[in-house]
Amino acid sequence: MITLRAFRAIDDFETCQKFMLGHRSVLENIGINKLSSAKDEWMLSPGVFVIIVESEDRTKVYGGARVHVADGVLQLPIEEATGYLDAKIYDIVREYSANGTGEICGLWNSREVAGMGIGSVFLTRACVIISSQICLQSLFALCAPYTIKMAETVGYHKLDIIGKNGTFYYPKLDLVATAMLLSDVRVLSLADPNERDKIMSLRENPNQMRTEILRDKELELNFHLEIPNLDRWYSSGIIKNLVKDA
């Protein structure tokens, strides 16, 4: 049994450290030592939410992803990564911030669960699910080539007005990343209908066990996607103007 659990970063420092070490190890194994989403400042940010993939007893961590809220204090990772190449990203993020925006970033999975869809499928889906809990209306992402298709499945489209038709050489000159935007987190008008149904089901009941079949493999997944202590988030003032629309 594999569990996907959501929490606010500042509420579980110990798990954040496990996330950071696992993410860093995966990046180092492919020769990446510096990445904007791999910095550790996010662990102390009140506007960061984490989804961890772990064993049922929480002793093993298999992967994770984060949702960073544009809070007007820290830049989103996509701004840090691409702003010096194309400054238009700053104005675009600022525009969407008026109604609540954020970014899916730091997505990774260990070799132990490689090929099971933990990173590209289930974590992407889970990030979209929790974003409605924290009152976001849109989401950015900077996607590696192998994650573009899944991002499109949940409703993302290429942000082709920046970079070279939306692409950048990042995080190394021999790697390409694509800037993408999900502009309607609640409605998901561009999402694949089957994927949209799964997301809506988990939004209605974010804590549930599901049997998923992917690539002819049957997976037992335990979702704990109801974020604890959300009252603290709503009262933080970061998105106080949006709570009434939640």
Position 246 in a domain: no
Q: What are phi and psi of 131, to 5 degrees?
A: -65, -30
Position 157 in a domain: yes
Contact predicate 242/135, CB 8 Å: yes
Position 64 in a domain: yes
Tokens of 239: 């998105």
Position 94 in a domain: yes
What's the number of domains the chain is made of? 1
* Separation of alpha carbons 158 and 143, rounded Å: 10
Candidates 75, 176, 53; CA nearest to 120 is: 53
Contact predicate 154/195, CB 8 Å: yes
User: What value, to the nearest 5°, has the Cα angle with vertex 155 and ends 166 and 42?
Assistant: 70
Position 198 in a domain: yes
Position 148 in a domain: yes
CATH number at residue 114: 3.40.630.30
Per-residue b/e over 206-240, b at no fewer than 16 CB within 10 Å? beeeeeeeeeeeebebebbbbbeeeeebbeeebbe
The model carries a pTM of 0.91
Per-residue tens of pLDDT for the chain, all 246 residues: 889 999 999 999 999 999 999 888 888 777 766 655 556 889 999 999 999 999 989 989 999 999 999 998 889 999 999 999 999 999 999 999 999 999 999 999 888 877 776 777 899 999 999 999 999 999 999 998 988 999 999 999 999 999 999 999 887 777 899 999 999 999 999 999 999 999 999 999 999 999 888 777 788 899 999 999 999 898 887 776 544 444
Q: How far is CA 157 from the centre of its chain?
A: 15
Pairing of strands 2-8, 217-224: parallel
Helix and strand numbers, DSSP H then E, in the chain:
7, 10
Q: Is 94 helix (H, G, I), strand (E, B) or coil?
A: helix
Q: What pLDDT score was predicted for residue 246?
A: 40
Position 215 in a domain: yes
Range of the structural domain that residue 38 is part of: 2-241
First-to-last CA distance in the chain?
32
Q: What pLDDT score was predicted for residue 217?
A: 77
Position 152 in a domain: yes
